[in-house]
């Protein structure tokens, strides 16, 4: 009987502590206990248990410590000074919510549609090459995770696996999109389009922001294993005098002459929806609409190509200011910089249909299919052991990461389903001065300088044209 009273008192003390009720008993019995005699530490290269990972940043930190030096350099690198890579993320921090309260948010619904396909949330796995570098199941594990969690994967032209291996990894009927780099050998592109159509791909995401891969210095500094190649494109890793840039070597087949005129050629090869991936301003967004494509991805390739290109969330604001009509004619997606559920909902408030995330799904793949599922929406089993924090017993059963964050953001912002999003939910005053008001520069006007022209003389050397 005395033991029962002691146990009851201990439980009462713990409850009081959790409720923030400080008293002498709490201080004496709970908070003034000596520290534990040993602290659990991970060995070098060892991953912490998946249930301890609670956000996308955790996956990134773990990847930085456990992936091979070359794999980490390839995945994480960005162009030159990495200014755009960082701006992609921090631009979201400068857009504030205007929450509404006393709304019935007892139940929230994250379901949406992308190109007519039902999805559990407005998120897709953006194309990211060579997933096999982080896990042997590669893109196949991503495909299975997408099917399990009800979202769509966009397969890269530089995937580790062939599309004919990736699609069967998911149940029949699971939608897939395919990201296309046009090959300098156009016949290869034509054959590739026939292949992806034959396995059931539902849309073509044509990358238009990479006539040439950017200078990714972290990737260049680490030499390649030259036996590595893409199972999709067949491109091989190489080392040369410029360095060991894996992105540069496997992207060497990309045709830099691709132009707007080629969209007619592409349309003649496929009847699938065509999405232009890599739109970075209102001028090209309007052209995309005029050329009749079915959608655009506002993206700067994760900051991997042109450093100091604008952050996509700012480009989304530019589209709303300079060419709002495009949102009525095609679907608009955003990738680059998405980390949180708040980021997803901010994009939707500004007119996006859905968002893509690339790098962090590669980092999650560090744990295989289970890691990818965990990043999307994971419900833990009741059988997972409890842990002790500050001497208190805490269950590790919880629901994470992105879907939970999106649902929490919806509730705290005051909406119960995605049909209720609108720009008035956001305060963009902190960045409004950064948004162009015109397609052209508002005051600087380019004029040809007759003295800066060059001509070829009889000796085949370039000289400035003489004054007249």
CA–CA dist 406, 121 (Å, integer) = 9
Residue pair 201/163 in contact (Cβ under 8 Å)? The answer is yes
Looking at the DSSP bridge assignments, the partners of residue 298 are 279, 334
Mapped onto helix, strand or coil, the DSSP state of residue 430 is helix
H/E run at residue 347: helix 341-349
- Going by their DSSP bridges, the two strands 392-394 and 387-389 should be labelled as antiparallel
Shortest CA distance to 364 belongs to which of 156, 86, 43, 57? 57
Q: How far apart are CA 386 and CA 94, in angstroms?
A: 38
Instruction: Work out whether strand 378-379 and strand 399-400 pair parallel, antiparallel, or are unpaired.
Output: antiparallel
Q: Beta-carbon neighbour count of residue 157 at 10 Å?
A: 26
Q: What are the strands, taking DSSP E only, across 345-453? A: 354-357, 378-379, 387-389, 392-394, 399-400, 426-427
Q: Which residues are catalytic?
A: 181, 209, 301
401 alpha-carbon distance from chain centroid: 14
Tell me which residue of 189, 194, 113, 178 sits closest to 143, measured CA to CA.
178
Strand ranges inside 354-398, DSSP E: 354-357, 378-379, 387-389, 392-394
Pull the structure tokens for residue 302.
């994760």
42's CB contacts (< 8 A; 6+ apart) are 48
Helix and strand tally (H, E) in the chain? 18, 18
Per DSSP (E only), the strands in 196-306 are 203-207, 274-279, 295-298
The neighbour count for residue 206, using CB atoms within 10 Å, is 20
């Amino acid at each position: 009987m005395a033991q029962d009273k002691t146990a009851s008192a201990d439980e009462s003390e713990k409850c009081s502590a959790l409720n923030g009720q400080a008293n002498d008993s709490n201080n004496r019995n709970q908070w003034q206990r000596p520290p534990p005699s040993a602290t659990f530490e991970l060995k070098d290269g060892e991953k912490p248990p998946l249930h301890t990972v609670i956000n996308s940043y955790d996956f990134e930190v773990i990847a930085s410590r456990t992936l091979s030096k070359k794999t980490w350099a390839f995945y994480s690198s960005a162009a030159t000074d990495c200014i755009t890579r960082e701006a992609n993320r921090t631009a979201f921090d400068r857009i504030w919510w205007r929450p509404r309260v006393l709304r019935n948010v007892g139940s929230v619904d994250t379901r949406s549609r992308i190109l007519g396909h039902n999805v559990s949330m407005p998120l897709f796995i953006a194309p990211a090459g060579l997933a096999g570098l982080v896990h042997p199941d590669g893109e196949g594990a991503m495909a299975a995770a997408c099917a399990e969690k009800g979202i769509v994967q966009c397969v890269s032209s530089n995937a580790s696996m062939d599309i004919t291996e990736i699609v069967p990894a998911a149940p029949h009927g699971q939608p897939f999109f395919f990201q296309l780099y046009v090959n300098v050998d156009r016949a290869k592109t034509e054959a590739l389009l026939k292949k992806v159509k034959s396995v059931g791909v539902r849309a073509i995401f044509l990358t238009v922001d990479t006539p040439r891969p950017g200078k990714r210095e972290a990737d260049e500094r680490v030499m390649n294993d030259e036996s590595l190649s893409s199972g999709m494109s067949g491109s091989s890793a190489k080392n040369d005098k410029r360095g060991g840039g894996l992105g540069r070597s496997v992207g060497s087949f990309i045709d830099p002459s691709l132009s707007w005129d080629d969209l007619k050629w592409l349309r003649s090869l496929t009847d699938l929806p065509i999405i232009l991936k890599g739109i970075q301003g209102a001028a090209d967004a309007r052209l995309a609409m005029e050329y009749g494509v079915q959608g655009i991805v506002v993206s700067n390739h994760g900051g991997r190509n042109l450093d100091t290109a604008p952050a996509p969330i700012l480009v989304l604001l530019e589209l709303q200011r300079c060419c709002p009509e495009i949102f009525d004619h095609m679907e608009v997606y955003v990738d680059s910089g998405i980390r949180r559920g708040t980021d997803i909902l901010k994009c939707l408030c500004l007119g996006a249909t859905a968002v893509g995330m690339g790098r962090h799904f590669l980092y999650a793949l560090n744990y295989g299919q289970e890691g990818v599922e965990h990043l999307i929406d994971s419900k833990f089993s009741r059988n997972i052991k409890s842990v002790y924090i500050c001497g208190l017993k805490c269950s590790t059963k919880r629901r994470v990461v992105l879907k939970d964050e999106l649902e929490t953001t919806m509730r705290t912002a005051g909406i119960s389903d995605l049909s209720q999003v609108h720009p008035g939910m956001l305060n963009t005053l902190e960045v409004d001065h950064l948004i162009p008001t015109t397609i052209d520069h508002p005051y600087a006007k380019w004029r040809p300088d007759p003295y800066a022209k060059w001509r070829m003389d009889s000796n085949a050397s370039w000289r400035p044209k003489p004054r007249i």
